[in-house]
Structure 1
């Protein structure tokens, strides 16, 4: 059970034991004893499972299943997909961002948070993207018209 306790510590505090002990109201020494396999009675199990309801009790007690309850796994997947979609939605504007805006976007991606740009800024980028698309559409239409004209010309017999 102490190896599964280590996994929970990694999940909740990135492996930092003192902050984890604080979350549960335990002393760092008590946590160290639990990690060694000492004094692992019902009390620490109940404290841990009541403090972190997303932890699958069957996994913690018996090592069966996954660490997180199915509902929490679904929620994490939904949150991560939402985060990815918000990044992809802004990704198309990178060519129109200022250096500072690109830096903000990059920092947000690297730190795993959602970039926070004002609606006016996003609207400005969208306008620039629309202008570029219109220019490309016009160039394609011009090239198609020229191609159609060349294809319609009579050929010599």
Structure 2
């Protein structure tokens, strides 16, 4: 399976937006060079060793999803029901409706890229999760 640096960048950007992380915060967490982070997010020339060094700082990120677009963005739950990393719902902004709208817009961009690569079921699962979160936000607001 070929590795597409631009797709990795789009998925990493999607993940970091969901976690509300900007480049300075990612740099602080990972100790990585700003230029390397920008290259990864933009899908430009970088070494996979650099990517691996960065993603090891995100224990909930599924590296198979990030690199190949396979499976879920987040690692699965442990057998005891606890998360293997931070749960994505814990990262939502206070204004969940606005945040979910932003995630839907990013999902459309990612969806177009993933569908072009034939990963439609993965995108349908992500879309269902966003709709589920949106519905729970609507119910809680009432």
TM-score between both structures, scaled by the size of structure 2: 0.46
Higher relative contact order (CA 8 A, sep 6+): 2
TM-score between both structures, scaled by the size of structure 1: 0.42
